[in-house]
A and B are shown apart, each in its own frame.
Chain A
Amino acid sequence: MRGPVLAALLLAALPAAADLGDPVKGQALFVSKGCVHCHAVRGAGGRIGPDLGRTATKGSFYEIASAMWNHSLAMDEKMQEFRLMRPVFKGNELADLLAFLYFLNYFDEPGDPKAGKVLFLEKHCIQCHSVGKLGGNAGPRLDTLSRGTSPLRIAQDLWNHGPVMIPAVKRMGLDVPKFQGNEILDLFAYLRSQGHREATRDFRSSGDAVRGHGLFTSKGCVRCHTVFGRDAVIGPDLGRADLRGSVTQLAGRMWNHWPAMSEAMGALGMSPPIFKGEDLADVFAYLFVSRYEGAPGDLRRGLRLYQDRKCASCHGEAGGGGAATALGKATGESKEQILQRMWNAAPRMWARMGAAHIAWPRFDADDLSGVVALLADGWKSPPAPQEAPRKTAPR
């Protein structure tokens, strides 16, 4: 019997504060709102726009939302060309859609077993581990996995294997294997392809982000790492963009980090954490959810952009309204609701701005979070005098 193992369905265990949409509903919206006509997700779907599984969604909520906002005009033109209706969102729909797009990045693409086989040789795994009739017997066999084993399960086994394996590798005069890009995906794909389909599917984690938060503390990760700089750190901030990626890629980076981390933890009198059961999935779920929101919005930045991008010319100096809607209505709304109102109003905005010869406002993630923070605040918290802007011109 073969079949995929339950991997990470995070939805059931999201912390309440994360305020995420429902990715499952978002997936249905991706089809029903017509996104799929133009966009594919890793090859599945239309080819007019970029493949959202590969390009446009690598980032936090605001990174995805800003990409979506910025492409709005080009999208409208294409949709008119193909006689498609521009999607309008209501209720919680935009939040659900964005949650779906965000979680695309959680999952890996299938690796390439052929490339994985080459890696199994090149990384010298074969010297200690056997697959089929080939390989050494110093380490455990690697063809006993279930065909449906989740990549996270393999990653967890690999991590736990570190204290034994790394000294052994060094004794043999070999380099400790490191994984770049999709290498770890390919290697896991190879191991799964050689596995037993009849094996018990024993990994049932649903990636409990709340439990993961607790593990992040109890396993001592928090003593060195933080997410978006909320605490003092020794190791890298795990909210950093260059540390993002799918969970398996994250596992690869974590593994590469093993020797340095082991030394650092030794200096602090700690041992590298060992993960049991579903621990690693839970920790990754916590990290993934924590990164959803990104860095908090900057009110001052929002106010500056509001003026620079000439929002005030229609919406009034303090959002009190004028030629266009008063923005006070947005006060107290969630960021998803504010963005949904912005999105739905975009065609009217475009018409007015075109008539007034005002350029379409483009935002990066920090810009957008600032603008949304301003709208949510409703000009109630007057920002301090402005510093020199970090970015002034639209991209």
Chain B
Amino acid sequence: MSLDRRHFVGIGLGAAAGSALGVPAGRLFSEILSSANNSVYPARGKEGHCLSVCSMCPGGCGLRVRKIGSRVVKLDGNPLHPVNAGRLCPKGQAGLQALYHPDRIPGPLRRVGARGSLASFEKVPWERALEEIGGKLKALRADGRPESLVLLRRNGTDLGTRLARRFAEAFGSPNDVSLDRGDEAAAIALQLGQGVRATPVYDLPSADYVLSLGGALLETWNSPVHTMRAYGAFRQARTGRRGKLVQVEPRLSGTGASADEWIAVRPGTEATFGFGIAAVLLAEGLYDKEFAVDRTIGLEDRREAGGAVRPGLRSVLEKHYGLEKVAAETGISVNVILRIAREFAAARRSLAVGSRLGPLLPGHLSEHLAAHTLNALVGNLDQPGGLLLSDDVPLAPWPALPAGPAAASGRRQPRLDSAGRGDFPLLASDPEQLAEAILAGAPYRAEALLILGADPLLTSAACDRFKAAIEKVPLVVSFATLPDDTSLHADWILPEAHFLERWDLLTTPPGIPYPAVSLSRPALEKPLRDARPAAEIFLDLSRRVGLESAFPWKDLPALLRSEMDGLFSARRGALMGTPFDEAWIRMMEGAGWWVPGYRSSDELWQKAQETGGWWDPFYDHGDWKRVVRTPSGRFEFRADVVAQLASARPDEASPAAEPARPPGSLRLLLFEPLSISGGTGAELPFLQGLLDPGEEERWETWAELHPESASAIGVKDRDWVRISSPRGSIDARARVGHRVVAGVVAIPVGLGKAEGGRWAKGIGSNPLRLVSGARDRASGLPDFGATTVRVARVSGPKRASSSERRA
């Protein structure tokens, strides 16, 4: 065998990196090197850079893409982009691996065999694929059944997602269902209190004290890099003021490890702790009385027209959240609860944060409601250091949908997932119920299912039900870059272009306090592997289906350009720029001036491509009409919901002790590591290699157990265990330590894929297959923390752990 210089260096790199990542030396790199279309090393040609936006998670970080010749060789943060200011997380860096992944879908695939295997698909030309799919959709519409089209999608602000939603609406379907629900519990809490359905923004940089009721602030928060930057400002950016972070959670997460104090409550009692703090604030008069009188309603009892007394928050908290009761339930001493409450009240700008754990795990409504209640009690709504709401992005609106009786009739039909009505009126989407409705064929049959960037067979709380439901739908089209668990069961797989291969315009990512528009240009002349941007596919389909008038743009740049015109007309904001520009624009706009740095719409368009986009960093605090839209015009302490939550607590009847469980019966606690959050990332070897820095676990699923829990079932550290629930069972490697409280088994979500390419397939286990299907009774969201599992020691697979391999 001859060995040229390229292969020699490649193998050398592979050996080094492979060793560092805990995989057989050289295998990883040599696979990557050999798998790409064209040569990796050395890239040839001139060096160049272009700007893009990372789509590895919904965080919306700006990218500076380094190219050599036609090859992308490095991703860095765009220093001018306000979300990440030049920083980039490992997941973003690994976006390069996703671009050149050897198992990317090679082109449009049509299923010709049994579901569940890539071998059952054949490649067809784009024209044929779109003609067949468009023809079926057109027939469906002509048949007067537009409502039977279902869009199941990611929750993105990218152009592809926005066009897909418009396509469904223009088609006449009410079934626009989002699978990503990480922000839903927080949004519902906001809706209850402020009458606004939006993702709350927490102003960490200006806060002095943060009480996090289980929020994964420093891991998988809405926009991770932005939040980590904000956390840096919270801790270190102000002379003489170092913010304090208190993390309340049963598992010591990365956030807890960085916090000043970890309060290890019993699982599921974070909200109880929060309401306990609120009760202390009220009992000791430590709340903002002026704010409570001027801006809120529902704090005190009210006599209604009929004479009945409607209990206020104070009464409800006194009744259900007495100190002793809270202490017994949470396992935290009265002294600690009192101390935290007084610290929270004494800090200049205190902020409470709910329990969002990642894009898939929204936490419970109760925890977000507790946090929201605390913020209102200290008057920290729409104030610096408080809970904020991002303003709308002033993009030029798309033309109104053309009037059509068929489409209008379809849109009036009930949603298949029943979201927004029935038992759970607060839900915006209910994918699990969608699966049930498809299976039942009621209230009507689903004839076509478009799945965009969603993998319900991996990440929903009803994986098996979805698998069965998909088989009931005559036309299932999956849009994916890499094959995933769901696409294997589709009829068609349309390869979506990687984010470095497409034009895009993304609006404000969730969790960012200011309106921002990120403009992304393709880094490659044309997509690899015969892929197309989802936005382009929907533009094409719209013409084939007869929806041209709803999509009047000739191509994507024309669409983006027309949207950007609205930014110029809005006469606000500026191009993305340096921190100095940010401060300058903020100051100018605060004084009533607008100095944008562009003189025309054309100049804005041109310069936005050079800087990364547009934004408006000025936040107008105290805009009550915008941020509070309740019927009363005031923030509403929802004592009724708090009372409902309190009475539903399992320990409400006998709060004195943790309920007794048989040995080996533990509460399932799920979490999302950053590298595989949202069910994506496991397909990339670099991210498999850094699954959990704390436990140094890689390339396998692990289960964290408290020593007390482990010894009760005879499990030692690194033993293999089987975790079983009535829904199923998975195997994982036990990690025994004090990172979790007793009575809990904590397992990461994101592994256990049936597909996803060579580096994900068959690696680890998916704990979502264990969840009970229980619902958070207040919100209707899946209650991912309500499952009790049995854990037992088993003999594991004959595969050494990463640390054993290193040893």
Contact = CB atoms under 8 A, between A and B. Distances in A.
Interface of A: 1-9, 11-12, 24, 27, 30-31, 36, 41-45, 107-111, 147-151, 185, 188-189, 192-193, 197-198, 201, 204
A31 B580 contact: yes
Contact of B571 (A24, A36, A147, A204): A204
Contacts of B114: none
A45 B583 contact: yes
Contacts of A6: 571, 594
B588 A4 contact: yes
B592 A197 contact: no
A109 B588 CA distance: 7
18 contacts: A2-B620, A3-B394, A3-B573, A4-B572, A4-B589, A5-B592, A5-B594, A7-B593, A9-B596, A27-B584, A31-B580, A41-B587, A107-B591, A107-B593, A109-B591, A110-B590, A147-B620, A201-B571
Interface string B612-649: 00001010101101100000000000000000000000
Contacts of B570: 3
A242 B123 CA distance: 79
Closest 9 pairs between A and B when the two form their complex, measured CB to CB: A44-B583, A3-B572, A110-B590, A4-B589, A7-B593, A110-B591, A6-B571, A2-B620, A6-B594
A309 B682 CA distance: 72
B612 to A, nearest CB: 15
Contacts of B594: 4-7, 9
B593 A36 contact: no
Nearest to B392: A1
Contacts of B593: 4, 7-8, 107-108, 150
B599 interface: yes
B578 A31 contact: yes
B480 to A, nearest CB: 38
Nearest to A25: B597
A187 to B, nearest CB: 13
B583 A43 contact: yes
A192 B592 CA distance: 9
Given A11-B599, A107-B593, A3 B571 contact: yes
A44 B626 contact: no
A58 to B, nearest CB: 17
B595 interface: yes
A193 to B, nearest CB: 8
B220 to A, nearest CB: 32
A114 to B, nearest CB: 13
A179 B143 CA distance: 73
Contacts of A27: 581, 584, 597
Interface of B: 391-392, 394, 570-573, 578-584, 587-597, 599, 616, 618, 620, 622-623, 625-626
A45 B580 contact: yes
Nearest to B583: A44
Nearest to B624: A197
B236 to A, nearest CB: 17
A3 B616 contact: yes
Nearest to B600: A12
Given A3-B571, A27-B597, A108-B592, 11 more contacts: A3-B618, A3-B620, A4-B571, A6-B594, A41-B583, A44-B580, A44-B584, A110-B590, A185-B591, A193-B622, A198-B625
A148 B599 contact: no
B64 to A, nearest CB: 16
Given A12-B599, A109-B587, A2 B626 contact: yes
B587 A110 contact: yes
Contacts of A197: 620, 623, 625-626
A188 B620 CA distance: 16
A148 B592 CA distance: 6
Nearest to A12: B599
A185 B616 CA distance: 23
B716 to A, nearest CB: 55
A41 B584 contact: yes
B571 A2 contact: no
Contacts of A43: 583, 587
Residue from B582, B595, B596 whose CB has the most chain A CB atoms within 10 Å: B595
B599 A9 contact: yes
A12 B597 CA distance: 11
Contacts of B596: 9
Contacts of A7: 592-595
Contacts of B597: 24, 27
* Residue of B571, B599, B616 most packed against chain A (CB within 10 A): B571
B137 to A, nearest CB: 37
A315 to B, nearest CB: 37
A189 B589 CA distance: 12
Contacts of A198: 625
A111 B599 contact: no
Given A41-B580, A107-B593, A201-B571, A4 B587 contact: no
Given A12-B599, A108-B591, A110-B591, A4 B618 contact: yes
Contacts of B599: 9, 11-12
B421 to A, nearest CB: 30
A285 B718 CA distance: 75
B595 A107 contact: yes
B538 to A, nearest CB: 29
A11 B596 CA distance: 12
Contacts of A189: 591
Nearest to A151: B592
Contacts of A4: 571-572, 588-589, 592-594, 618
